Every structure is written in structure tokens, then in C-alpha cells.
A and B are shown apart, each in its own frame.
Chain A
Amino acid sequence: MKILVCIKQVPDMESRFKPDAAGVWFSESDLAFRINEYDEYAVEQAVKLKEQLGDTPEVTVLSIGPDRVVEAIKKSLAMGCDRAVHVQDPTAHLKDPWQIASIIAAYAKDNAFDVIFTGMQSQDRGSAQVGVSLAEQLGIPCVTTLVGFEYADGTITAKRELEGGIKGIVKLKTPALVTCQLGLNTPRYPTLPNIMKAKKKEIAAIPVANLLKDEARMTTLSFHQPAKKGGGTVLEGDVAQLVDQVISILKEKTAVLR
């Protein structure tokens, strides 16, 4: 069996975002990057599936982006992926979801992966399109938003998260693609021996030009802060003072303090 897991490196969401020079995405200065949270669940599930099948499947982790994404790739290798593909693209942020999916599809089509894992969306773009588009381009079945995954004899039983805490149970045959929701599993922390082992694993670099054939279907006009709705009071300063202010607000504006 061959497993592919697709990951993206994204900035820490606690960061302060400023537009880049072109004004279409964030400026990378002062940002710290990490694996997209949804993708950590995808990596974990891929490694768990490998372990379930007696370590025989080979897990390939793929990421598209500039050189910094190698850090996210290395973490995935330390979590238990076997080998990696770095699609080198300094301007990945200018691609639309269809193009990102087409790049992965161009790599995956000749590699006969049985199961492909992706996050259900990225924390920065949040389009929730790449996984499904990839499955469409490869012509394989796909189920999104997994909070449960079981595999036996070429069949996946997936539990989808729906609104209001309801779940939908869906069966599909491999080859197939699933997109992972938060809470699907508990992503492991890489151990030191595994971090050391990961250093010896192969990271194949492929220039994006070798894989990208499709034009963008969408253009970005601007990246900006939300318009402030106003109305809300922002309190800053010393904790003791803040407590005084909040107590008087509670007394004036709510009926909760007696």
C-alpha cells in the first residue's frame, strides 16, 4: 500500500498580519511558521494507518512552497512519514486552490497512491477546496471533514462531522482521498530518536514548473483587515485597574452582579 499525505506550512494564527508589497497576501517578515493544524491530524492518521498494517505501507508527505516548508516536512518525517516531496515554489501564495490541487495531481497521478490524506482546510486560506479538487482531478472518491477513520481490506469507514454535533457515516473503497477535521485523533509529538532518524529520510525536490500546467481561475484584488464594526470597548492596562473597570461594567451593563 502507498499513502500520500499533503501538508501546508502556515503562519502562527496569533500573529499580527500585514499586507505584502503587492497587497494581495501577508508579508512574511516577523511571522513564525508551523504545520497547518488540520494537516497534523492528516499526518497522524496516515502514520496510524501504516502502523495498523504492520508498517508495510510507505507514507509520502508532500508540501508546496518556498524553502521554509522543509521544516514542516521534517516534522512530518519525525512523526513517522517515510519519505518526502518538496515542490519548490517561492510564489505558492499566488496560486489558487485549483492550481495547488493540479500540482499535487500531476505528481500523484503516476504514483498509484491507495489513500490520500489532506487537512479539511488550511488555517490561512481556509478554502476547503484543495483536497476535493485533487480527488476530482485524480478521479477517485473523496469524503471531507473526518472525525473518525477506520480501514479494513480496501474499505474506509469515515465519520463526517456535520452541524450540531451530528455525524454521518460513509463507506468508500480505495483508492480514495479523505480530508481531516480537528479532533480526528491525537497528533503525536516527535521523539528525539525519531527526529534523528528523520534526518536520514529522503526529501525529493521538484521545481513547481515541472508539475504546474493549469492557469489560475481566480484573482486576488486585496488582502486587508476587516472593517472595524466599532461599538466594542477595548480595555488595556494594569490588571488591578482592568478588574475595577470590568466590575463596574458588569454592574452598569448587566444584571449579573447582585
Chain B
Amino acid sequence: MKTLLIGEYREGKLLDTTYELFGFAGQLGAETALFLVGSDAQLPVFGGTLYLADVAACGEYNPDLHKQLVLEAIQKENPDQIVFLHSSYGWDLAPRVAAGLGVAQVSEVIAIQEGSFEISCCNGKMRRSVKPATAKSVVTIQAGAFQGVQPGGSPQVVKLTTGATGGTEFLGYEPAEEKGVDLAKADIIVSAGRGIGKKDNVPIIAALAKALGGELGASRPVVDAGWVAHDHQVGTTGQTVSPKLYMACGISGAIQHLAGMKKSDFIIAINKDKDAPIGEVADVLVVADVLQFVPALTARLTQ
């Protein structure tokens, strides 16, 4: 089994998450080659073949062009599987490569099984076992599902160039918003999720945070709805935290949220839904209505 791993490079840096691809390939027991639109000034720690296109010429985001480059690498390498991270780069590029090759794509693999892949579905609550029906296939792997592995060594570089042009023009990055609240430094975080029902209920969660001497956090839907400011958001697109105590109030536990808080020392989740995916990472799952339980707990703490 041969894999071509698709590395990531952003804002002038090779992204560390690239090494998770090697973790996946290691579990498959597959041979690896790496593809990267990057720079020879910053080569990955990997002793195999690196198909390298120059980022100065090809851009960090130019999916049509990157697709052509990946297809060229596939032609040279003839891998059985082309492996991306399920990330803003990977989910954008992978279907283009799969379409170009005319092969199956399996999205967001969380585990390898005998002859099949386990993938997440229904917002992380359920799983599917699926199998590509084509000889070659494209897969994307869930961020954090496979431990990063640095294979060591220095690569044999095969340079790729392309005359292709893309249908998109990348204008640049907009930095993340300034953080008014540095949640990464907080020992205690009490987060509000959609289960609180409405904006008027945010003070109920904030009161518990205050009673515990902690900070208020929030899940994405609560921030998107404008109930809580963005600098309180915990998750992939917000802040990554690891406090001594994390309380998730009415948060179902989408993977993007879990990725931002699962390293907390102790996690208490309060949720009406006993099957909510937050239960997978919680040390304690309190099955209750947050709007009844949280005020009762706050009252006891402030007695």
C-alpha cells in the first residue's frame, strides 16, 4: 500500500498538523511520500520522497493550481491512497483531486478498521463504516484523530512546476480578532452552548463562572448568534484551552468544540441529551436541564 500525504503550509510556515498524516499512514502500515506547496528553506523532517512546489510561485491558496500539482505528483508516485487533513485546506482541495482522478473520497476518517474506515456523522453523535469502491481513493482525516509522528531524516526533493492557472485569486489573510479575554490562561472556564436557549440566559452561565472564580466561554453557535462575544469562543476557530476545570453548559460537543477543550484537566458537562458527543470527553456528564441545574449550583456555591 502506497500513500501520498498532502502537507500544509500557511503564512510562511510548514504546519505541524502535517505530521498527523504520518500517524495515519503508520497505522495503515503504508509506504509514504509527501506533497507540499512550500519552500526548500523549510523542509519537513521526513526521509522519503517530497514532491515540492514552490509556494512563491504557486501561492498558499490556489486550489485549481494545487489540484494540478497534486495530480502530477500522483502520476509520478502512483499511490493507492491520497491523504489530506480534514481542514480548511484539505476539505477544499480533496474533492477537486478526487474529481480529477475519478475516484472515491472518504471524508473525516477517525479510525482505520479491517478493510474500511470509520467516519463521524450526525454532528459527531454517530459513526459510519465506509469503503471506497474505486481502486485508488482520496481520504481526509479528522484533526487530532491520529497522533502526529515525525518520521525523521531529510527528504529527496522532486520539484513540481505547473503552467496551470486557477479560477481564484488569493488576496491575503485577515488576522484573528484581538483577544479581550485570554481563556488560555484561565484555571476555570464555564462555557455556554446553544442549549441555554436564548441570549437572555447568558447571565445564568456567567453567574456560575463568577461564583467559581472563572471565565465565561462559549461554543460557536452561541457566538454566531451574537449572544456572547467572539473572544470567548472555545474551539478550532476560537481559543484552545486546558483549564483545571471546564464546565460545558448545554454544549452538544461538535468536533470543532471538543478539539478546543478536550485537554482540560477535569470536564463537567451539563446536557439534557445523554447521548450528546460531549459525553465522550467529559469526566462527569450531568443529565439535566441547564437552566434548572446551573442556577441551583450557583446558589449553593454562593450560600
**A and B: bona fide binding partners:** yes
- Contact indicator A132/B96 (Cβ below 8 Å): yes
The reply to whether the CB of A44 lies closer than 8 angstroms to some CB of chain B is no
Q: Is A255 in contact with B244, judged by CB distance below 8 angstroms?
A: yes
Q: Which residues of A contact B61 (CB under 8 A)?
A: 160, 168, 170
B171 close to A (CB within 8 Å): yes
**Can you give 5 A-B contacts (C-beta < 8 A)?**
A141-B167, A160-B88, A171-B169, A219-B133, A246-B297
CA distance A212 to B274 in the complex (A): 40
Return the contact of B284 from the options A159, A183, A215, A246 (Cβ within 8 A): A246
Would you give the shortest CB distance from A213 to chain B, in whole angstroms? 14
Contact A123 B280 (CB under 8 A): no
Q: At the interface with chain B, which of A47-55, A201-209, A230-238?
A: A230-238
The chain B residue with its CB closest to the CB of A161 is B237
Q: How far is the CB of B301 from chain A (nearest CB, A)?
A: 8
For A125, the closest partner residue in chain B by CB is B121
A89 within 8 A of B: no
- What residues of B have a CB within 8 angstroms of the CB of A189 in the complex? none
Q: How many residues belonging to B are interface residues under a CB distance threshold of 8 Å?
A: 89
Contacting residue for A217 out of B104, B128, B297, CB 8 A:
B104
Query: Does the CB pair B296–A239 fall under 8 Å?
Result: yes
Residues of A149-165 at the interface with B, using a CB-CB cut-off of 8 Å, are 157, 159-165
- In angstroms, how far is the closest chain B Cβ from the Cβ of A19? 9
B:222-261 near A, CB below 8 Å: 223-224, 226, 230, 236-238, 244-245, 252
B199 within 8 A of A: no
Contacts of B300 in A (CB 8 A): 243, 247
Q: Which one of A9-17, A64-72, A78-86 contacts B?
A: A9-17
CB-CB < 8 A to A127: which residues of B?
105, 107-108
Contact: A220 with B130, CB < 8 Å?
yes
Q: Which of A200-258 contact B (CB under 8 A)?
A: 215-226, 229, 231-236, 239-240, 242-243, 246-247, 249-250, 253-257
- Asked if A169 and B221 make an inter-chain contact with CB atoms under 8 angstroms apart, the answer reads no
Interface footprint category on A: 35 or more
**B131: shortest Cβ distance to chain A, in Å?**
5
Q: Report yes or no: A162 in contact with B10, Cβ–Cβ below 8 A.
A: yes
Q: Across the interface, do A224 and B127 meet the contact criterion of CB distance under 8 Å? A: yes
In A125-151, the 8 Å CB interface with B consists of: 125-129, 132-133, 136-137, 140-145
Query: In the complex, what distance in Å separates the CA atom of A219 from the CA atom of B296?
Result: 49
B34 at the interface (CB under 8 A from A): no
Q: Pick from B95, B288, B293, B297: contact of A129, CB below 8 A.
A: B95
**B129–A126 CB distance below 8 A:** no
- Tell me if A2 is interfacial: C-beta within 8 Å of chain B: no
Specify which of B86, B88, B282, B283 lies most central, judged by the most chain A CB atoms within 10 Å of its CB.
B88
* B237 close to A164 (CB less than 8 A): yes
> Would you give the shortest CB distance from B248 to chain A, in whole angstroms?
12
Q: Which B residue's beta carbon lies closest to that of A244?
A: B300
| A26 at the binding interface (Cβ < 8 Å) | yes
Q: Are B245 and A256 in contact (CB under 8 A)?
A: yes
A98 proximal to B (CB < 8 A)? yes
Residue of A nearest to B170 (CB): A170
CB <8 Å contact, A242 and B286 = yes
Q: A160-B88, A232-B279, A242-B288 are in contact. Are A136 and B293 (CB under 8 A)?
A: no
Residues of chain A within 8 A of B277, CB atoms compared: 226
- Is B196 on the interface with A (CB-CB < 8 A)? no
Tell whether A254 pairs with B87 under 8 Å between CB atoms, given A13-B123, A246-B268.
no
Supposing A161-B88, A256-B187 touch, asked if A234 and B285 sit within 8 A by C-beta, the answer is yes
Query: Chain B's nearest CB lies how many Å from the CB of A81?
Result: 22
Q: Is the CB of A217 within 8 A of B169?
A: no
* Contacting residues, chain A, for B221 (C-beta < 8 A): 182
Give the residues in chain A near B245, CB-CB below 8 Å. 250, 254, 256
Is the Cβ of B252 less than 8 Å from the Cβ of A14? yes
Question: Is there contact, CB below 8 Å, between B120 and A126?
Answer: yes
Q: Is B71 among interface residues, defined by CB-CB distance under 8 A?
A: no
Q: Report the Cα distance A250→B268, complex, angstroms.
A: 9
Measured CB to CB, the closest approach of chain B to A204, in angstroms, equals 27
What B residues does A222 contact at CB under 8 A? 128-129
Given contacts A145-B88, A223-B128, 9 further A-B contacts (CB under 8 A): A14-B273, A129-B91, A137-B99, A143-B92, A144-B91, A163-B88, A169-B173, A183-B220, A234-B287
